């Protein structure tokens, strides 16, 4: 759509982020944000154990030998920008972090990490201020993603890497006390740093890095804006070289501000029960259901066909080659094969050995993903909808269909399921007692006089 410059979408979004206070936010949204924080912390602690995270931290330590900000899961401190880069990467390190479905953004990795680093930098930030900043970042990232929709992903961009810069700038800017004008410049600086190519999902570690880099870029944007550095003041409205026109062939600027402060996108954030790309979760749910109801086994299967949206087909429906763990986590054929074989799609299904198992590779060859025009006609909200047909060797065909995945806002995980996931992931780094203590700190974060107490618990 053509921008009406009198609408000032960038300014309105900046004003919201700069002025949001804890008291402005409904209690239910605050509680959901704390669950988001718990999930994010668990993902980051587990991520700190992974090889790509170790490479990044070791590289940063070559010139980051002192600082005031915690590196999660490690006995190290760095500058705010470096710690944010490390922690954001670790949260997104194994496809486990929270997901706002309609924006295709994993907000915890790009928002909670800069917020906590800036809070440590300022040294006396209350839990209430921290949560308000975090929610400001979640709202901004989600709305920016919604404005360009799934067309942005189909174009080849990684939404967490692009939109995440805006959420990070909003969160960091909120804590730094930016006024409306400074926040508008912070968003304009952040938008110019937005990056992340989806070809990274094919045999590389760099996809994990996109989240950390987006989070770090938001920190730089807010710090620069605080000192008077200027950015693109009409970031979203600009027709030439603007954010929306450049990043997507289709966009709707109204989604940037519609219902702002009344309709809370933070409450729509869901949680992953599987360590895979979110576009694969409806297929996992369907296959697990067929296993439970029909006793379906991998040995019975001749072929599996998944009918889904063009966005999902392009994103995860390509031919599987066992190149890397990243490849396997982003590929629907492998994920279908391992889910049917193991009855799960969590961390143990994505080891270097498992992703090359000849039986799984052979079964993945018998999985087809087909773009369904009827699905596309339903719009972006139905991007994850699937219809699945499993043809058995005896000639029978089993079917299932899913509109939303387990863990989404439409089919949410229980608090107990989220806490179990958190405990499983955190236990890779912390003893059981520390895991329980950390959970209590997160749930009581709004009562903390200094949110640095949370950061200390992550060492």
pLDDT band at 1 (very low <50, low <70, confident <90, very high): very low
The reply to whether domains 5-273+425-457 and 278-402 share a CATH topology is: no
pLDDT value at 356 more than 90: yes
Give the pLDDT mean for 352-373: 96
pLDDT at 2: 42
Residue spans of the domains in the chain: they are 5-273+425-457, 278-402
pLDDT at 383: 86
In the sheet with 301-308, reading across from the earlier edge strand, the strands are: 367-371, 301-308, 386-392, 397-402
- Percentage of the chain surpassing pLDDT 90? 93
- Fold of the 278-402 domain: 60s Ribosomal Protein L30; Chain: A; (3.30.1330)
**Domain spanning 5-273+425-457 has what CATH number?**
1.10.4100.10
pLDDT at 7: 62
pLDDT band at 5 (very low <50, low <70, confident <90, very high): low
Classify each residue of 49-81 as buried b or exposed e, where b means 16 or more C-beta atoms within 10 Å of its C-beta: bbebbeebbeebeeebeebbbbbbbbebbbbbb
Give the pLDDT mean for 181-204: 96
Give the pLDDT mean for 71-91: 97
**199-243 per-position pLDDT tens digit:** 999 888 999 999 999 999 999 999 999 999 999 999 999 999 999
**98-117 per-position pLDDT tens digit:** 999 999 999 999 999 999 99
pLDDT at 3: 46
**36-68 per-position pLDDT tens digit:** 999 999 999 999 999 999 999 999 999 987 899
- pTM for this prediction: 0.95
pLDDT at 291: 96
SS3 state of residue 397: strand
Give the pLDDT mean for 366-390: 92
Q: Determine the number of helices (DSSP H) and then strands (DSSP E) in the chain.
A: 19, 6
Report the mean per-residue pLDDT for the chain.
95
Placement of tokens 């949410």 in the chain: 412
User: Which helix or strand (DSSP H or E) is residue 368 part of?
Assistant: strand 367-371
């Amino acid at each position: 759509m053509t921008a009406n410059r009198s609408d000032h979408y960038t300014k309105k979004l900046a004003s919201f982020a700069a002025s949001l206070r804890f008291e402005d936010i409904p209690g239910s949204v605050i509680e959901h944000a704390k669950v988001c924080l718990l999930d994010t912390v668990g993902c980051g602690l587990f991520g700190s154990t992974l090889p790509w995270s170790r490479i990044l931290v070791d590289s940063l330590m070559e010139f980051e030998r002192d600082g005031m900000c915690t590196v999660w899961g490690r006995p190290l401190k760095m500058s705010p920008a470096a710690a944010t880069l490390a922690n954001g990467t670790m949260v997104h390190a194994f496809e486990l972090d929270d997901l706002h479905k309609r924006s295709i953004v994993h907000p915890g990795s790009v928002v909670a990490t800069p917020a906590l680093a800036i809070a440590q930098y300022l040294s006396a930030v209350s839990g209430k201020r921290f949560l308000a900043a975090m929610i400001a970042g979640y709202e901004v990232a989600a709305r920016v993603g919604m404005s360009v929709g799934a067309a942005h992903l189909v174009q080849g961009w990684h939404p967490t890497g692009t939109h995440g810069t805006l959420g990070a700038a909003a969160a960091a800017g909120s804590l730094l006390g930016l006024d409306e004008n400074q926040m508008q410049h912070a968003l304009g600086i952040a938008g110019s740093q937005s990056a992340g190519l989806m070809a990274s999902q094919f045999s590389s570690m760099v996809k994990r890095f996109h989240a950390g880099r987006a989070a770090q870029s938001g920190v730089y944007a807010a710090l620069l804006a605080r000192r008077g550095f200027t950015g693109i003041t009409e970031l979203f409205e600009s027709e030439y070289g603007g954010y929306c026109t450049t990043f997507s062939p289709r966009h709707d600027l109204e989604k940037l501000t519609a219902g702002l402060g009344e309709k809370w996108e933070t409450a729509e954030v869901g949680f992953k029960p599987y360590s895979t790309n979110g576009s694969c979760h409806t297929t996992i749910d369907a296959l697990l259901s067929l296993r439970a109801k029909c006793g379906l086994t991998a040995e019975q299967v001749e072929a599996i066909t998944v009918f889904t949206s063009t966005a999902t087909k392009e994103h995860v429906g390509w031919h599987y080659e066992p190149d890397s763990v990243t490849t396997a986590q982003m590929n629907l054929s492998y994920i279908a094969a391992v889910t049917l074989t193991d009855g799960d799609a969590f961390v143990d299904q994505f080891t270097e050995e498992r992703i090359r198992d000849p039986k799984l590779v052979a079964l993945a060859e018998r999985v087809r993903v087909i773009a369904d025009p009827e699905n596309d006609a339903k719009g972006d909200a139905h991007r994850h909808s699937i219809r699945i047909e499993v043809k058995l060797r005896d000639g029978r065909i089993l079917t299932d269909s899913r509109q939303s995945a387990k863990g989404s806002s439409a089919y949410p995980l229980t608090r107990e399921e989220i806490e179990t996931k958190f405990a499983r992931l955190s236990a890779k780094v912390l003893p059981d007692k520390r895991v329980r203590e950390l959970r209590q700190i997160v749930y009581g974060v709004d009562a903390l006089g200094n949110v640095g107490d949370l950061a200390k618990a992550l060492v």
